[in-house]
Structures are given as C-alpha cells and as structure tokens.
C-alpha cells in the first residue's frame, strides 16, 4: 500500500511526541534546580552555545538538502522506468511480426511471444521494487518507535508478500526456476529478455534493425536499474548522518543551561522593578521556549534522516509500488486484457492517522 500523506501540525506533533516529552522533562529538571535549589551557578554563556547552534543548523540544512536530492533523483529514475516501459511495450507489439519471418507464426503464436515479453517486463519491475524494499543494515526508519507505529498503517506491499509469490503470475516454470536461482533477479530477467529477442531475430520474427532498437531499450532499462540500485546500495555517508545526529543532541541538551538562566535574570529584573509575583514565576516561561527550539532542531534533523533512503518504505518515499502497478495496468490494457484480468492499483490512503 502506498499512502499519499498530507501532514498537519497534529501529525507532526504526534510523530515527535516522545522527544517532546523528553525535552519537557529535561527543561523542567533544570528549572526546578534553579527555582527550588537556587543553583544559579549551573549555567553556560550564550556565545559558545550560539556557535554550536549555528554549526548544527548548517549541517542539518546540508543533510536535508542531500536527502531531498536523493529522493528527487530516485523519482526521476522511476519516471524514466515509466517512459522506457511504455516504449518497450509499444516496440514489442509493433516489431514482433511475420514480415521478415522465415516461418510465419500464427496470430495466436505472435500474441504469445508479445505477451511473454510484456509479462517478463512486468516481472522485472516486480523484482526491482522488491529489491529496493529489501532492508539494509544502515537504514534507520524502523528504529524510531513512531515510525514503527506508522508502518502499521502505511505499509508497502513488498513487506507483506515475497518476490517469488509476486513473480509467479508472470513467468513460465522454466523462467521462474532460472530467476529464483540468481541473487540479482531483475538482472536475470533482462538477460532472459535479451536471449528471447535474439531467438526471435534469428527466426526473422524480429527484423535486425528492430532487434537493435529493442536491445537499446533493454540497455536503458539496465541503466535505470543500476541508478536505482546505486541509491539503494550506497547510503548517505554515515559520518555525516551520525555526526549530525550527535551534534544536534549536544546542542539541545546544553541549550537549557543557557535559556533558563537568561529567563531567571529577566524574572529577577521584573521582580525588582515591576511586579514581584510575575517576576518570581517568570523562569517557568523558559519551558515552552526551550521545548519549541529543541523541537524545531530535532524535527528538522529527523526529517533529514527519514529522507536519506527513498526506497525504505516510509509514507513519503518514492511510491515505486504504485508506479510499477500503474505501468503494469497500462501494458496489460494495451495487450487487450479486460479489467477483470488486470490487478487493481494498490489502494491509496489520504490523511492517515496513527
């Protein structure tokens, strides 16, 4: 299932609620030490903290830009899969003919060859999307409790089925045995496509020029597959991602030691010159201010981490399942199959709630 998620403020608050509770507890402890135990020496100057905050803001911005770049590149790659797949379907239907055949095939035999090539292409997309959804050790999405909660509502279909089960409807027993014996099943399927096209060329069912055009399409599919695998198999560099995470936590944990004393000084001034009652309790206003600042820094860093791996299975990564199923529907409709024969698009959910 692919979810088109539209975030509202309440969704973001719920997604980060555990960290918000933690930030609230941290600042309440510091305020309590100032208010009840008079530990006014427990503070740090703003200058070093401001330098740390500036550095953290820069590295988080860099991380978010890099993560968005990976998402956008992945979306362009799968946009290329859409276009190339449609081209392949069109070429197969118009280039597999008896025009140059040494032995003419019947209409049913030609349709069988076209259908076999088309279904094998659908199998290639199926194998590729399963490979993109396979868990990698460096992927961090499932480590967050609230992300696991979302996964109970928003789940890619690859998590609930095996590649073998999903390939079965599209391949012959012989092809199935060959593909399942290979580690890279999507590559094996493109090899089978090339071997099949060569046999059709040798029998004259595909003209030599048409064979070269179709091989060029397979070459483009290999290129798109390699680009997709590159993003999946090469993570966002961990020395950037991990250090960003640690720097952010250093900043937000040191921050109350600068904010709370500042509010205490302001409260003292208010007590001496204006309203003693208001000034006495003014220090407690540091709680919402600190929580707001810490929440912003933490949430921006977490958004960057969530977007590092665009095929990981989160609600906002590239919808490869929906894309692949959409191509399958197009190809099978153009084969003349009825709506009853073609699987429906994966359901789309809007404005989901945990």
> Model confidence over 83-139: pLDDT tens digits?
999 999 999 999 999 988 888 889 999 999 999 999 999 999 999 999 999 888 877
Residue 212's domain comprises 2-350
Which segments in the chain show pLDDT lower than 50? 1-7
pLDDT in tens, 217-258: 999 999 999 999 999 998 877 777 788 888 999 999 999 999
Domain tally for the chain?
1
> In percent, how much of the chain has pLDDT > 90?
54
3-state SS, the chain, equals CEEECCCCHHHHHHHCHHHHHHHHHHHHHHHHHHHHHCCCCCCCCHHHHHHHHHHHHHHHHHHHHHHHHHHHHHHHHHHHHHHHHHHHHHHHHHHCCCCCCCCCCCHHHHHHHHHHHHHHHHHHHHHHHHHHHCCCCCCCHHHCHHHHHHHCCCCCHHHHCCHHHHHHHHCCHHHHHHHHCCCCHHHHHHHHHHHHHHHHHHCCCCCHHHHHHHHHHHHHHHHHHHHHHHHHHCCCCHHHHHHHHHHHHHHHHHCHHHHHHHHHHHHHHHHHHCCHHHHHHHHHHHHHHHHHHHHHHHHHHHHHHHCCCCCCCCCCCCCHHHHHHHHHHHHHHHCCCCCCCCCCCCCEEECCCC
pLDDT of residue 93: 94
């Amino acid at each position: 299932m692919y979810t088109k998620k539209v975030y509202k403020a309440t969704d973001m608050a719920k997604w980060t609620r555990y960290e918000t509770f933690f930030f609230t507890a941290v600042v309440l402890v510091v305020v309590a030490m100032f208010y009840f135990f008079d530990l006014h020496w427990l503070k740090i100057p703003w200058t070093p903290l401001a330098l740390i905050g500036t550095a953290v803001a820069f590295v988080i911005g860099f991380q978010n830009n890099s993560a968005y770049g990976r998402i956008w590149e992945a979306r362009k790659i799968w946009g290329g899969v859409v276009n190339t797949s449609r081209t392949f379907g069109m070429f197969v239907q118009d280039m597999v003919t008896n025009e140059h055949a040494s032995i003419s095939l019947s209409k049913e035999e030609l349709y069988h060859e076209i259908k076999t090539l088309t279904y094998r292409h659908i199998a290639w997309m199926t194998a590729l999307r399963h490979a993109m959804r396979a868990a990698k050790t460096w992927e961090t999405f499932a480590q967050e409790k609230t992300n696991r909660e979302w996964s109970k509502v928003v789940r890619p279909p690859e998590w609930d089925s095996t590649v073998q089960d999903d390939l079965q409807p599209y391949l012959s027993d012989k092809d199935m045995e060959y593909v399942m014996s290979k580690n890279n099943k999507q590559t094996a399927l493109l090899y089978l496509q090339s071997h099949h096209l060569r046999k059709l060329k040798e029998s004259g069912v595909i003209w030599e020029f048409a064979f070269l055009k179709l091989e060029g399409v397979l070459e483009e599919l290999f290129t798109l597959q390699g680009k997709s695998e590159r993003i999946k198999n090469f993570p966002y560099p961990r020395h950037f991602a991990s250090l960003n995470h640690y720097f952010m936590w250093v900043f937000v944990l040191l921050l109350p030691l600068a904010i709370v004393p500042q509010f205490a000084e302001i409260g003292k001034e208010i007590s001496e010159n204006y309203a003693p009652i208001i000034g006495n309790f003014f220090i407690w206003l540091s709680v919402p201010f600190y929580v707001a600042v810490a929440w912003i820094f933490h949430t921006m860093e977490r958004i960057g981490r969530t977007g590092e791996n665009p095929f990981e299975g989160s609600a906002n990564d590239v919808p490869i399942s929906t894309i692949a199923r959409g191509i399958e529907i197009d190809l099978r409709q153009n084969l003349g199959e009825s709506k009853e024969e073609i699987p429906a698009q994966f359901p789309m959910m809007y404005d989901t709630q945990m």
